Amino acid sequence: QARGKVSDIINAAIVHYRDDPDLQNLIDFGQKEAVVNTQCGWGVQARGYLEAGAVIYTTGCVDTLGSWIHSNLLLLGGIALGLALPQLVGIMLAQILIHQIKDQIKLQLYNHQHRADPWY
């Protein structure tokens, strides 16, 4: 199910390749290596299967992405946790601050209503 969703997203991105320059740059970045292949397919058929596999990609991007995510699962989980924990701590501290402000407002109203000096 996840593989189908990723395939749908990638196919939609390829369909709209020219519409958004950021999307175009992202797809181009994902396809580039250290050396740009200027002679695509030149001399590949003369090589053996294993030798050609080092030069050309024999797996699809969805399979490659899935295996990369699987091999880097701990790293991705650590990054997600590292991003989520400060957010959760910030939310909790904001809630504590809200309750403290409400308590101070209630205390101020109580003190204003129960003053000893009626002329104050």
Query: What pLDDT digit, counting tens, does each position of 6-63 carry?
Result: 788 888 888 888 888 888 887 777 776 544 555 556 666 777 777 776 766 667 777 7
Kindly report whether the global pTM for this prediction surpasses the value 0.75.
no
| Residue 14 shares a structural domain with residue 41 | yes
Query: Number of folded domains in the chain?
Result: 2
Domain range enclosing 107: 72-120
| Residue 85 shares a structural domain with residue 118 | yes
Instruction: Using the 3D structure, point to which of 36, 60, 84 is the last residue of a domain.
Output: 60
Banded model confidence at residue 87, pLDDT cuts 50, 70, 90: very high
| Residue 46 shares a structural domain with residue 92 | no
| Residue 5 shares a structural domain with residue 54 | yes
| Residue 1 shares a structural domain with residue 47 | yes
| Residue 43 shares a structural domain with residue 2 | yes
| Residue 1 shares a structural domain with residue 56 | yes
The predicted pLDDT at position 118 comes to: 62
The predicted pLDDT at position 117 comes to: 66
92: pLDDT strictly greater than 80: yes
Domain-embedded: residue 80: yes
Give pLDDT tens digits for 68-82: 888 999 999 999 999
Domain-embedded: residue 65: no
For the chain, the straight-line distance linking the first and the last C-alpha, in angstroms and rounded, comes to 71
